[in-house]
Amino acid sequence: MTFHNPISGPSCGGTAIKIDGFGFKPFDSSSTDPKSGQAANKLFIRYLDSTSQDVIAQSVLIDPAAYTNEKINVISVPEPVGTKALI
């Protein structure tokens, strides 16, 4: 990851998050996972408590249309007011 927006700030869910980087889709779009037979390019997002590193939201599969090899666009999940999280 080389950049993300917003950098910080209040959010209780529904915030558009943009992440720039490289390697989010490392496989050809026609590739399949040999174990599951499903598409190889699966990307999940989860949130961790910024202090304890405990998972505070279940991992969510990102729609393949929401990311490229260099960019991810997702909407944050609802969390209680005052939650400080890492993606």
User: Is residue 1 scored above 80 in pLDDT?
Assistant: no
29: its two tokens: 């779009």
3-state DSSP assignment of residue 74? strand
pLDDT band for position 71 (50/70/90)?
very high
CB atoms within 10 A of CB 46: 14
pLDDT band for position 8 (50/70/90)?
low
Task: Please say whether the dihedral angle defined by the alpha carbons of residues 15, 4, 52 and 41, taken in this order, is positive or negative.
Answer: positive
Beta-carbon contacts of residue 64 (< 8 Å; ≥ 6 apart): 25, 39, 41, 43
* pTM score: 0.66
CA angle (49, 58, 8) in 5-degree steps: 40
